[in-house]
Structure 1
Amino acid sequence: MLTPQSAESLATTLSALTPAYDSLLALAPYQTGKPVEELIFEYGISDVVKLASNENPLGCSPQVTLAVTEQLGQLARYPDGNGYYLKQALAEFNKIDAACITLGNGSNDLLDILARSFVSANDAIVYSQYAFVVYSMLAKMQGATGVEVPAKRFGHDLEAMSQAVHNQPNTKVVFIANPNNPTGTQLKQEEIQRFIANIPSSVLVVLDEAYIEYSPDSNNRALLDEFDNVVIVRTFSKAYGLAGLRVGYALSSVPVAKLINRIRQPFNVSRVGLAAAQAALADQDFIEYSRESNQEQKRWLEKQFDALGLGFVPSAGNFIMVEIAVEMEAVSATSVNQALLEQGVIVRPLAVYGLSNWLRITVGTAEDNLRLIDTLHSILTSQ
């Protein structure tokens, strides 16, 4: 987190250059999961298991490799700026008109585009405590008011969020992550439907479904037929295994899509990314295999966490939020995270979310998960 002192230092360094909004001075850069390369450099460890960024441990569909290879001779050419073929494939897959689709450089790009399209410095963004940290960052980026609503059992309290919208009449956007990152909690479609029906139609409700492939029950596509103020944002970075290519998409009403496509940067998805995403979407057998593998390994991990005496939140995603609250003074989430790093296992500490006693752990392969549990057991029993 950026402290008031460091914000003041930044302001002094900028001298005569002033940012558009004072809130930018309080904005800390987004912290990604620790890169494998960095860990190798710091500790000289060659055998690293990364369980920090919710990537698909199975990689991507073999069809993607073929599609990427076919594009290598065309790298000097710009991609299709409108992503025609990928949009057509997404339209068929989601049973929606292609005019309702906007492509992004990952789903983060689309969240940013939506904020820039609808939120000014006089407006407010509503989001839940323990929800994706980017939502609060977007409020600061726009100089807007960020309204964080206390969570309910680590998930979204939609009644309280509805009240927050009514209490804050300048609310323009509400972000809802379903399943939620980093807690893994999930809302039912009827809960979300009631929430949207109870707030002004002038408030845009953005449903962040980055992990939908791991939990098909969280698919809220039908809500687009009922409400014009709903946008669904998805990504190819998780179950589809294309995190390194950065491809996401948004489903919305045609007027919303027309507006955000004006804000979207030209060629924001690469030629390789477009081809890879289209090939990945076509191989739903791979997605089903990934989902089944994730469920099996997630159940196994939950049993192991129970055996280690570690609390966790049941997750609808491909990760589990684990509490490090062992009754030993020397054990903390910080110390366990550091000990894991020193033994070549990368997980995600959650202090930035106000969850200082918790770690988010991606569900890996059977081999990855066994390495994690063996290492955790060694750390906890040695304290």
Structure 2
Amino acid sequence: MFNEPENDPRLTALAASLPTSVPFVGPEAQERSAGAPFKARLGANESVFGPSPKAIRTMRMAVKETWMYGDPESHDLRMALAKHHAIDPSEIVVGAGIDGLLDSLVRLTVTKDTPVVTSLGAYPTFNYHVTGYGGVIHTVQYTADYEDPEHLIAKAREVGAKLIYISNPDNPMGTWHSAATIQRMIESVPRDCLLLLDEAYVELALDGTAPAINTNDARVIRLRTFSKGYGMAGARVGYALGHKTLISAFNRVRNHFGMSRISQAGALEALADQDWLGDVCNKVDAARKTLYQIAEDNGLKAIPSATNFVAIDCGQDGEFARAVLNELIEMGIFVRMPFVAPQDRCIRISCGTPKDMTLVAKALPKALAQASGQVLGKSLFGTGSQKT
């Protein structure tokens, strides 16, 4: 019988050196551990409002075609996206969500010791791919809960970065920069460097957040998704907009059959139903305002958001915020929090239905009280002691 060695000699040295951890623990794993489903699933920034009903009907009809591979060129969807954005189809590549596109892009640009720049505490899946291809990550701090374009550019010049990552609007804080600020950043990108602009939440943002699309500018590639505003996270459909030379390079490394026919059909119909997207944006805006009020009712500060989630400052440090988060999870409310100080003083709650928001409103005061009791207990009895 074959016994797998602790350090498998068949792995590359790089693969063997990597941790086995993943960027996120899924809510399903947490439900299995708890032995019960969550009452409100508000941690992964999914749209609980779901996809367009027209997209759902189209996907149901496409089920009978699942015996066929999806179109490896995603031709119809690319044509529709090109028309939607008024660009050429050669300037668009479709992939399995932004995460799948990140994998391909990093594979194209990063090898052993390649320097890249990102914000400390920004979207961890980017770091996961960079590390997986042997790159070296250089970070800069957030400035007042915003990713800092000037500091990112300065760090890129300092280390000779090949890639710079920024999300606008930002995850995990929900903050955003104006189109003018991002355009100045694009124009400041060092030579032989590429700005990776993650716009996963752009459909939910205010007008004036995204600069005009200019695919002639080879200094930037923009990533977008159907996972957030369009409510299709489980379908895994994302796309990149950029200079045709870079976009064509994706064909050298991408998974050509990574898109299912059902996902392609659903995204095509979702894109056509802009009325549904507008309705979802209105519901998200209402939920954001409700979360702002919930924070205020509990003496907390909500960070203004241009996304479908709100980061709520719990008023203390990351240990306290973690205690609040754990109490919410115990009560069946799935939420997450930023990973890095000082942003980890916050918990992050996705926008939900009125029922979801009511559950949060009832649970948060109890979670805060329980977390405060834990902190008080530690201060009275010592960090290593338990109150009996």
Task: Work out whether the TM-score is over 0.5.
Answer: yes
Change (3 A) 1:78 1:219: farther
Q: Secondary structure at the match of 1:80?
A: coil
Does the CA-based 8 Å contact 2:121-2:338 persist in structure 1? Answer: no
Aligned twin of 2:27: 34
Does the CA-based 8 Å contact 2:169-2:176 persist in structure 1? Answer: yes
Alpha-carbon offset, residue 349 of structure 1? 3.0
**Higher deviation after alignment, 199-208 or 143-152:** 199-208
Cα deviation, 1:197-234, whole Å, max 9, x if unaligned, reads 22324211111000011015365462424522211101
Alpha-carbon offset, residue 162 of structure 1? 1.3
Aligned residue type for 2:45: N
Change (3 A) 1:248 1:96: same
Q: Which runs of 5+ in 2 are unaligned?
A: 374-388
Match for residue 57 of structure 1 among 28, 43, 48: 48
**Higher deviation after alignment, 246-255 or 158-167:** 158-167
Change (3 A) 1:111 1:354: farther
Aligned twin of 2:359: 371
Does the CA-based 8 Å contact 1:179-1:218 persist in structure 2? Answer: no
Aligned residue type for 1:372: V
Aligned twin of 1:137: 128
Q: Secondary structure at the match of 1:287?
A: helix
Match for residue 194 of structure 1 among 184, 194, 198: 184
CA distance in 2: counterparts of 1:126 and 1:307, whole angstroms? 39
Change (3 A) 1:78 1:26: closer
Cα deviation, 1:326-345, whole Å, max 9, x if unaligned, reads 69xxx822222222122211
Aligned twin of 1:333: 321
CA distance in 2: counterparts of 1:110 and 1:121, whole angstroms? 20
CA distance in 1: counterparts of 2:86 and 2:61, whole angstroms? 28
Aligned residue type for 2:18: L
Does the CA-based 8 Å contact 1:155-1:185 persist in structure 2? Answer: yes
Change (3 A) 1:32 1:63: farther
Aligned twin of 1:105: 96
Alpha-carbon offset, residue 164 of structure 1? 0.8
CA distance in 1: counterparts of 2:200 and 2:178, whole angstroms? 16
Change (3 A) 1:253 1:355: same
Aligned twin of 2:339: 351
- 1:128 paired with 2:119, answer yes
Q: Which runs of 5+ in 1 are unaligned?
A: 1-11
TM-score (norm 2): 0.88
Does the CA-based 8 Å contact 2:197-2:222 persist in structure 1? Answer: yes
Q: Secondary structure at the match of 2:99?
A: helix
Match for residue 72 of structure 1 among 60, 63, 78: 63
Cα deviation, 1:44-67, whole Å, max 9, x if unaligned, reads 545611100111111111001111
Does the CA-based 8 Å contact 2:300-2:312 persist in structure 1? Answer: yes
Does the CA-based 8 Å contact 1:83-1:274 persist in structure 2? Answer: yes
Alpha-carbon offset, residue 25 of structure 1? 2.1
TM-score (norm 1): 0.89
